[in-house]
Amino acid sequence: MKRCIQLSLVILTALFWVLGPRAASTLAIVVWHFYNAIFDVDVYPLNWAVVDGKVSEAYYREEHPLDLERARNESLGPDVKDPGTA
């Protein structure tokens, strides 16, 4: 295991040396994406929206409350009140 980590560090160092900032920024974006989609503690072990494009309403309410409110208002129309708000 330790040898594998050392080898990956050598490969990453070589990549940065050869490709420069482009590789560093690309790797940063890839790592950031994988962390948010797979390893984030709120969605661990996997955010299934990556697979099927759907999320639960509870998750959507927590992550995008204003967008959910806007979508509910558009679907209900201007004259109908939301039954969830008394």
- Establish if 6 belongs to a structural domain: no
Give the contacts of 40 (CB within 8 A, at least 6 positions apart).
Answer: 47
Instruction: Tell me the CA distances in angstroms from 53 to 4, 6, 16, 35, 37, one per residue in order.
Output: 34, 37, 34, 17, 12
Per-residue pLDDT of 14-70, as tens digits, reads 777 887 778 777 887 888 888 777 777 777 777 778 788 888 888 888 888 998 888
**Cβ-based burial of 48 (10 A; exposed 0-12, middle 13-18, buried ≥19):** middle
- Confidence (pTM): 0.43
Number of domain units in the chain:
1
- Establish if 12 belongs to a structural domain: no
- Establish if 47 belongs to a structural domain: yes
pLDDT at 85: 54
Round to whole Å and give the CA distance between 37 and 30: 11
Range of the domain at 64: 25-80
- Establish if 85 belongs to a structural domain: no
